[in-house]
Structure 1
Amino acid sequence: MDERKRESIVAYLRRRMAEFGIKPEDVAISIAADQERLRAVRYRDAAGHTWDGKGAAPQWLVQATSAGQSLEHFAISGTPQPESGKRTRVDWRNDPFAGTRLATISNERVGAA
């Protein structure tokens, strides 16, 4: 992004923050709270639904475990790692659809349906 465009965006954000009475400290506190909430997350699915493991399990997790998926499948290990440009290999040994018809449908047929 060029410097003029960046400065323009910063000026716009400062004007809007002043208009709504938002201080930079408020933004910093909000970001810190969001990061703390994300650290508390213990389970996440591919759609981005999360659960901290406390209280009743959410519907998305109940449906997945009822369908045969294990709770450990959704467990988050440690802190999220930034994605690198390198593609990682997929471990198909734990694929719940391995050997079923769902694993053998080609992309062409899926797109045509």
Structure 2
Amino acid sequence: MPPTHVGFPHLSEGEVFRARAEAILWIRSAVARHGISVEQLEQAGCFAPVKPEERFQTSTKYIDAAGHVWDGSGTVPEWLQRAVDAGQSMEHFRIA
């Protein structure tokens, strides 16, 4: 599946992945720095409502910003291994 990156058609899939990971890290840092909760973001309308059929199956244990999922069994998928190799912790992608 080709990467979806509006406004950056010249970037490779790896560059898009790194840019997204950097953006997520920046957002997480800003949220922590300002003491913002998920509930406050939801109340502010930052998230679209999730339909019940769109919720993750219980077997999903890891997910990235692009929607790639892994159940934690077998070989670590390429998308997760690239992130770990780039310095991101695997726990960053774990679903609570």
* TM-score clears 0.5: no
Higher helix share: 1
Larger Rg over CA atoms:
1
TM-score, normalisation: structure 1: 0.36
TM-score, normalisation: structure 2: 0.42
Q: Which has the bigger relative contact order, CA under 8 A and spacing at least 6?
A: 2
